[in-house]
Structure 1
Amino acid sequence: MISIRDVSTVFTTAGTDFTAVDHVSLEIPRGSIQGIIGFSGAGKSTLLRNINLLERPTSGRVSVDGTDLTALGDEELRRARHQIGMIFQHFNLLNNRTAQQNVELSLKFAGVEKKERRRRAKEALAIVDIADKADSYPARLSGGQKQRVAIARALATEPKVLLCDEPTSAVDPRTTASVLQYISDINAQLGITTVIVTHEMNVVKAIADNVAILEEGRLVERFDLAELDRPGFRPATEIGRYLISDDITLDRAARATKELSHA
């Protein structure tokens, strides 16, 4: 469904090149949920934006549902993006528009006529159980409700692919579970191929079929989440082993030494 082939993305700032994504290749099957994890600065969000070419790769190819997006002109790419929904970390809702109007906006850009926009927006809001907030402005919504509006906006164009950029990092732990449940249900019921970028392994464990681990822009490991339940399974990379650990470990010996030095 999604084919990322030898993709690199290089940014140039003040005459200095920085490689955010470094020769990454990844095949994502139709209807699956692909997790992409890594520390801050690993290139996760850049790679996600490479999929819909919000960030055009410096080299390599990206194909979605058999269409090579990197070969399309601007107008063709705009049309192709209507089949790729995106959920952002900070909701990206317009404060001067109601929940329904925010959802309709994506349809307006897609050229959908007004009556059909209203119907599809209401349908999308109903999918995430927030139809009763259709006339509410973002300032009157909780973080979880805002994210559900953002999910509805992404679904309104009836996409084949859903890209999720840190969709739970701006909400509390209880709301995180709710948001992930909606994304999981949408994947199961509508068959939308989903890619979720996060630095939280517990998020990937809860929802993904497969995890890809990035480090300094490179794909260093990939495995099915089912492997985590297999006795004796251990990620091959140090970063993989660190990220799947649920524990937070502090250097207590160093702290004790510091306290003694101040005694």
Structure 2
Amino acid sequence: MISLRHLSTTFAARGKNPITAVDDVSLEVDRGSIQGIIGFSGAGKSTLLRNINLLERPTTGEVIIDDVDLMKLSAEQLRQARHQIGMIFQGFNLVNNLTVAQNVELSLKFAGVTSTKDRRARVAEALEIVDISDKAAVYPAKLSGGQQQRVAIARALATRPRILLCDEPTSALDPFTTATVLQYLADINRDLGITVVVVTHEMEVIKALTDHVAVMESGRIVERFAADRLHDKTFAPTTSIGRYLVSDGIHLNGRQQSELDQASLDQVSTAELAVGGRV
């Protein structure tokens, strides 16, 4: 369904050498699967996710969706192709002066659905999928974080996409709400057959939701494995960052020593700051 081939994305940095946020990454995502991408802040995972729909255009490489290279499309062709790629953002990105239904409908207007009747029917359909139909006339400020994220999911589903990209979809949510949102994503994948790519720094999200895992560090994918291996107590990732992410160390407040050397951590932090946190 998704084939990323030798992608690299480089950003200019003021007074410094350019920063390579994604460095020669290749990744295949099967149709109907849930692909997890995990790594520390600054690893390049969000940039890689935005490369898939060209919100961040790669400097080099190929982005192939269903045998079509998005990098070769015209602006109008790319706009049409993006209607099949829904996206859920970390910060919800709802329009505060629009109701829940109007926020969801906005995506359909951008997608060129001109019939008001069709738009309203698809809004109702999307809201029902995430069980938030009763909030259709409510404004975002009156919603909890979990409800806002469900509206964001409904907005992404309204265009009936084949692919759903999720950028840290649960990082602003409490554990109970996180479990609820993950269940909706799992149901969407199972019931609608939508291919899902989820970026996160939370290993519990990876364990609960994904089929396959790619571990990123310093712009590269350094390790891949099937997610079900995480439930095997004898499983040990081959890289130090993979072992650290799988361990309980990531949940502690600095009291446990990481296997990662300080130079590696410094490199990640420098990359993140240089591009204003976009990676």
Fold conserved (TM > 0.5)? Answer: yes
The CA deviation at 1:73 is 1.0
- 2:52 is aligned with 1:13: no
SS in 1 for 2:112: coil
Counting aligned pairs with the same residue, the percent is 68
Q: Deviations over 1:33-88 (max 9, x none)?
A: 00000000000100000000000000000011221101111110000000000000
Q: TM-score, normalised by structure 1?
A: 0.94
Picking from 158, 161, 165, the partner of 2:160 is 158
Q: Please tell me the residue identity of whatever aligns with 1:2.
A: I
- 2:221 is aligned with 1:219: yes
Aligned residue number for residue 97 of structure 1: 98
Picking from 98, 119, 132, the partner of 1:130 is 132
User: Cα RMSD (Å) of the superposition?
Assistant: 1.3
Q: Is the 8 A contact 2:5 2:27 kept in 1?
A: yes
The CA deviation at 1:252 is 7.8
SS in 2 for 1:115: helix
Distance, in Å, in 2 between the alignment partners of 1:211 and 1:137 is 36
Q: Is the 8 A contact 1:124 1:156 kept in 2?
A: yes
User: Superposition pairs for residues 20-35 of structure 1, below 5 Å?
Assistant: 20-35=21-36
- 2:51 is aligned with 1:50: yes
Distance, in Å, in 2 between the alignment partners of 1:210 and 1:244 is 14
Aligned residue number for residue 244 of structure 1: 246
User: Superposition pairs for residues 176-215 of structure 1, below 5 Å?
Assistant: 176-215=178-217
Distance, in Å, in 1 between the alignment partners of 2:93 and 2:242 is 31
Q: Is the 8 A contact 1:82 1:157 kept in 2?
A: yes
Report the count of equivalent residues: 253
Distance, in Å, in 2 between the alignment partners of 1:165 and 1:223 is 20
Distance, in Å, in 2 between the alignment partners of 1:151 and 1:32 is 18
Q: Is the 8 A contact 2:207 2:228 kept in 1?
A: no
Q: Deviations over 1:135-177 (max 9, x none)?
A: 0000011100000000000000000000000000111111000
Moved more, 241-250 or 230-239: 241-250
Aligned residue number for residue 110 of structure 1: 111
Aligned residue number for residue 84 of structure 2: 83
SS in 2 for 1:233: coil
Structure-2 change in CA distance of 1:138 and 1:252 (3 Å): closer
Q: Is the 8 A contact 1:202 1:246 kept in 2?
A: no
Distance, in Å, in 2 between the alignment partners of 1:221 and 1:136 is 44
* Ranges in structure 1 where 5+ consecutive residues have no aligned partner: 254-263
Aligned residue number for residue 256 of structure 1: none
The CA deviation at 1:124 is 0.1
Aligned residue number for residue 267 of structure 2: none
Q: Is the 8 A contact 1:35 1:197 kept in 2?
A: yes
Q: Is the 8 A contact 2:94 2:103 kept in 1?
A: yes
Q: Is the 8 A contact 1:103 1:152 kept in 2?
A: yes
SS in 2 for 1:116: helix
The CA deviation at 1:231 is 5.3
* Ranges in structure 2 where 5+ consecutive residues have no aligned partner: 258-279
Q: Please tell me the residue identity of whatever aligns with 1:8.
A: S
Moved more, 10-19 or 160-169: 10-19
Structure-2 change in CA distance of 1:175 and 1:231 (3 Å): closer
- 2:71 is aligned with 1:41: no
Distance, in Å, in 1 between the alignment partners of 2:238 and 2:149 is 35
Distance, in Å, in 2 between the alignment partners of 1:17 and 1:72 is 27
Q: Deviations over 1:13-32 (max 9, x none)?
A: 22530000000000000000
Higher radius of gyration, 1 or 2: 1
Distance, in Å, in 2 between the alignment partners of 1:12 and 1:184 is 38
SS in 1 for 2:81: helix
